[in-house]
C-alpha cells in the first residue's frame, strides 16, 4: 500500500508540471511510438514530453510522433520532419495526419503549414485529414469532413488578411494535389 502511494505521488510530481505546460496556449504533449527513433531538436525524444514552439521532430523509419492538445492530435508519420509552432505544425517533409474534434469551439484550431500553404479543418466537428510533402509536391487528403487550404503569397506582408480567393475547400473523401505556387517547404 505504501509503495502504491509513493508511486502515485512520484507520478503526480513528474507528470503534472508537463501536463499543465502542455495545456497552456503554446505547448503541447508529445508521445512517441514504434520501433524506430524519433528525434526532438536533434536528440532522441523520450516516450512522453512537452513540446514548445520551434521544437523540431524527426520521425525515423518505423516510428511516429503524436502531438496533442485539447481538441486535436497531429501524427508525424515515419520518415517525416515537422516543426511545432504552437498554433501550427510546419511540415518540412513526409506526412502528417490530423484529427480534430472540438467540444469547445473557443479552443484554438491547429493548422498545418507546408510551403506557402496552410491547411485546417473547416469546422469544429470531427475532421481527419493528411498532408503529404514529397520533393516539393503537396497533397491534401480530406478523409472525414472538409478542410480549408489557404495560399500565402510570399509577397504578402505578414499579418495581412488573406483574400477570399486565396482560400478554397477540399471536400471530405477527396484527395488533391496542390499547385506548385511556392518554391520549397516550410522551414
At residue 32, does pLDDT exceed 80? yes
Listed residue (142, 145, 148) closest to 126, CA to CA:
145
Is it the case that residue 129 has pLDDT exceeding 90? yes
pLDDT-wise least confident of 54-68, 99-113, 123-137: 99-113
Query: Mind listing the pLDDT tens digit for each residue in 34-61?
Result: 888 999 999 999 999 999 999 999 999 9
- DSSP strands (E only) in 35-116: 38-40, 43-44, 48-51, 56-59, 63-69, 72-76, 80-84, 88-100, 111-114
Q: Which has the minimum average pLDDT: 34-43, 164-173, 177-186?
A: 177-186
Given the C-alpha cell 472525414, which residue does it identify? 144
Calculate mean pLDDT across residues 7-35.
59
Hey, what's the torsion of the CAs at 54, 86, 147, 128, to 10 degrees? 90
pLDDT of 7 > 90? The answer is no
Task: Check: CB of residue 27 under 8 Å from CB of residue 49.
Answer: no
Q: How confident is the model at residue 8, as a pLDDT? A: 39
Averaged pLDDT, 63-78: 93
For the cut 90, the answer to whether the pLDDT of residue 20 exceeds it is: no
Top-tier CATH class for 2-178: mainly beta
| pLDDT-derived band at 179, boundaries 50, 70, 90 | confident
Task: Report the pLDDT value the prediction gives residue 124, as an integer from 0 to 100.
Answer: 80
Domain boundaries, the chain: 2-178
Classify residue 164 by its DSSP letter: G
Task: Tell me whether residue 77 is exposed, middle or buried, using C-beta atoms within 10 angstroms of its C-beta: 0 to 12, 13 to 18, 19 or more.
Answer: middle
Amino acid at each position: 500500500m505504501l509503495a502504491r502511494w509513493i508511486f502515485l505521488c512520484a507520478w503526480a510530481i513528474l507528470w503534472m508540471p508537463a501536463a499543465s505546460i502542455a495545456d497552456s496556449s503554446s505547448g503541447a504533449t508529445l508521445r512517441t511510438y514504434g520501433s524506430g527513433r524519433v528525434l526532438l531538436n536533434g536528440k532522441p525524444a523520450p516516450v512522453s514530453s512537452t513540446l514548445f514552439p520551434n521544437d523540431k521532430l524527426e520521425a525515423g523509419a518505423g516510428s511516429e510522433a503524436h502531438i496533442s492538445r485539447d481538441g486535436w492530435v497531429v501524427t508525424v508519420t515515419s520518415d517525416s520532419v515537422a516543426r511545432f509552432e504552437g498554433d501550427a505544425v510546419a511540415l518540412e517533409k513526409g506526412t502528417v495526419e490530423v484529427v480534430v474534434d472540438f467540444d469547445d469551439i473557443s479552443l484554438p484550431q491547429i493548422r498545418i503549414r507546408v510551403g506557402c500553404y496552410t491547411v485546417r479543418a473547416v469546422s469544429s466537428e470531427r475532421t481527419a485529414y493528411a498532408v503529404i510533402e514529397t520533393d516539393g509536391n503537396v497533397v491534401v487528403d480530406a478523409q472525414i469532413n472538409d478542410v480549408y487550404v489557404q495560399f500565402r503569397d510570399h509577397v504578402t506582408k505578414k499579418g495581412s488578411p488573406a483574400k477570399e480567393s486565396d482560400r478554397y475547400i477540399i471536400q471530405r473523401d477527396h484527395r488533391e494535389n496542390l499547385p506548385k505556387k511556392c518554391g520549397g517547404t516550410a522551414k
